[in-house]
Amino acid sequence: MKRADFLKFSCRNVTGGKVSGEAVLTNEAINFYLVDPDSGKIIEEGHNLEGESITDKIIVFPSDKGSSVVQLDGLFLAAEKGNKPKAFVVKELSTVLVSNSIIMEIPLVCDVEGQFYEVIQKGDWVEIEADELMIKQKNK
């Protein structure tokens, strides 16, 4: 029997869309104002993603931090330079993150099956099918 190419996990759709890309993971909240818009790299000192690019990545993180104005400004400036993320997978929703995802047209899902967080690794290829309430992770 052939093993499936993807592991599948159910999720809750917050903002719809279908995207695929490389996963970037952190266990720390992200303030998108602390992303360099020219490079798409996290510039927050001491953050475990400091120096890493989130451009065109699917970010798996617990939550966001910061006010709606600075968050939106950070995402907007990154998008203007072609450096915004492809999608968000979060554990805890905030009204700021939801509204900014809608405005910036970034797919956002939450309530992902617990096993997802046990198997996902940095650099994994992930497909989000928000409207179908599913995340797929490519088997290695």
DSSP characters over 92-119:
S--HHHHHHHHHHT--EEE---HHHHHH
Within-domain flag for 25: yes
Q: What is the pLDDT of residues 9-18, one digit of tens each?
A: 999 999 989 9
Q: Assess if residue 1 is contained within a domain.
A: no
Taking the CA atoms of residue 100, residue 105, residue 111 and residue 117 in that order, the dihedral angle to the nearest 10 degrees is: -100
pTM reported for the whole predicted model? 0.92
Q: Catalytic residues, which ones? A: 67
In this structure, is residue 80 part of a structural domain?
Answer: yes
Question: Which of 3, 6, 4 lies closest to 129 in space, CA to CA?
Answer: 6
Instruction: Report the half-sphere exposure of 101 (CA within 13 A, side-chain side).
Output: 25
State the total domains in the chain.
1
What CATH code is carried by the domain that includes residue 53? Answer: 3.50.30.10
pLDDT tens readout for residues 38-62: 999 999 999 999 999 999 999 999 9
Range of the domain at 28: 6-138
Contact in structure between 14 and 105 (CB atoms under 8 Å): no
